[in-house]
Amino acid sequence: MATPQDVDKLTPTDPRMKHCTYTIPTNNKTYHYLLCEPPTPTPVTATCLLIHGFPDLSLGWRYQVPYLLSLGLRVIVPDLPGFGRTDAPKELEAYSFKAVVDDFVVLVRHVLGEGEDHEGERIVLGGHDWGGAVAWRFAMWYPELLRAVFSVCTPFWPASEHYLTKQELVKLLPTFGYQVQFEGTEVEEAVVGREKIRAFLSVMYGASREDGQAVFGVAKGVRIDLLEADKIGESPLLNKEEMEYYADEYVKNGMRGPLCWYKTGRVNFDEERKLLGEGKNKVTVPALMVTASRDAALPPAMAAGMDQYCVDLVKRGVDASHWALWEAPADVNKHIGEFLEGILKGQPLKASI
């Protein structure tokens, strides 16, 4: 079995990726994104938009991008609002699924250009964690713009008829207990400065305290009193160069922006009333769901009912924690590759309008 060390990946200074920015004309929100083109003379078979989650960055897809490039895909990987070099607006509405999906439609059109060569071109879309939720919503709002959608760890759920507070949601999904803490101000007020941010990220990426005490758990969240930088070990999932890059990127916006993603429940609910009104409760494009067997926050059981909401669904699993993109990259890539193989050969690049 291939280990992460055997899988090609982007480095923080990798020449295969170009750092770009684009400001959405309608709202002046500036996005940072990585743009990666297939190596010459590989022909471009499609464009793929990858969306990261929390607490992650565009570089979170570092193990997947080289593989997708080898398949001939042009890859666009933005930092979500609040993260890294993308703007961190004050208003929560800027972080809603619909707002970000609309931004990404404009961003992709910008990257592809407005020329005739790319008019009507449909893309492949992938997401992890919050990025998976955004990907599923993109597929609901704009299915005509997609050839396929895939998600790692994050299952699809339809728009809800009834609003649930975080406290009510946790009664149904106890593994979401940490979200109650993240919705408040405790973490963003306590995790300030590079050392504290680096310690927080290390813990979220699997690092332990030297004395063995648990600093984070999905049921309760982060033990702020135990988040002592000099007592937190190194993450087993990121090397030193990657960890320093992540810490530097997170210092730019701090934790307020990233944590806004846990505060938009009401905004999303209100905006998705339109989906319900239009009877849109299914994913109609080809879909792949990759679950991770040891994901404490999003266990595979959460994806059990997805078949009723997806017209064309493939389900696969990997032996990994929530950080499956990094822990089991060979298996994740294999599942994505097998899923896309038939789609890229069997579907036209452009929609028939």
Checking if the pLDDT of 347 tops 80, the result is: no
User: Does 110 participate in catalysis according to the annotation?
Assistant: no
Give 42's pLDDT tier (boundaries 50, 70, 90).
confident
Give 287's pLDDT tier (boundaries 50, 70, 90).
very high
The chain-wide mean pLDDT, for the chain, equals: 94
What are the tens digits of pLDDT across the range 272-283?
999 999 999 999
Long-range contacts of 179-186, Cβ-Cβ distance < 8 Å, separation of 24 or more = 179/262, 180/221, 181/220, 181/221, 181/222, 182/221, 182/259, 182/262, 183/259, 183/262, 183/263, 183/265, 186/224
Residue 213, number of CB atoms within 10 A of its CB = 11
Which member of 103, 129, 295, 331 is catalytic? 129
* Closest among 65, 48, 235, 181 to 123, alpha carbons compared: 48
* Omega cis (within 30) before 55: yes
**DSSP codes of every residue in 35-59:** EE-PPTTPPP-EEEEEE--TT--GG
Give the tokens for residue 328.
């089991």
What are the tens digits of pLDDT across the range 9-31?
999 999 999 999 999 999 999 99
* Closest among 177, 44, 195 to 113, alpha carbons compared: 44
Mean pLDDT of 323-340: 98
Mean pLDDT of 213-240: 96
Token match 């931004």: residue? 103
What are the tens digits of pLDDT across the range 113-157?
954 556 678 999 999 999 999 999 999 999 999 999 999 999 999
Mean pLDDT of 222-230: 96
Which member of 56, 322, 331, 335 is catalytic? 322
User: Does 129 participate in catalysis according to the annotation?
Assistant: yes
Backbone angles phi, psi at 107, to 5 degrees: -60, -45
CA distance 134 to 230: 36
CA distance 21 to 28: 12
Checking if the pLDDT of 348 tops 60, the result is: no
Checking if the pLDDT of 352 tops 60, the result is: no
- pLDDT, residue 353, reads 32
Using a pLDDT cut of 90, give the percent of the chain over it: 91
CA distance 173 to 167: 10
Integer-rounded Cα Rg, in Å, for the chain is: 19
- Are 233 and 210 spatial neighbours (Cβ–Cβ below 8 Å)? yes
SS3 146: strand
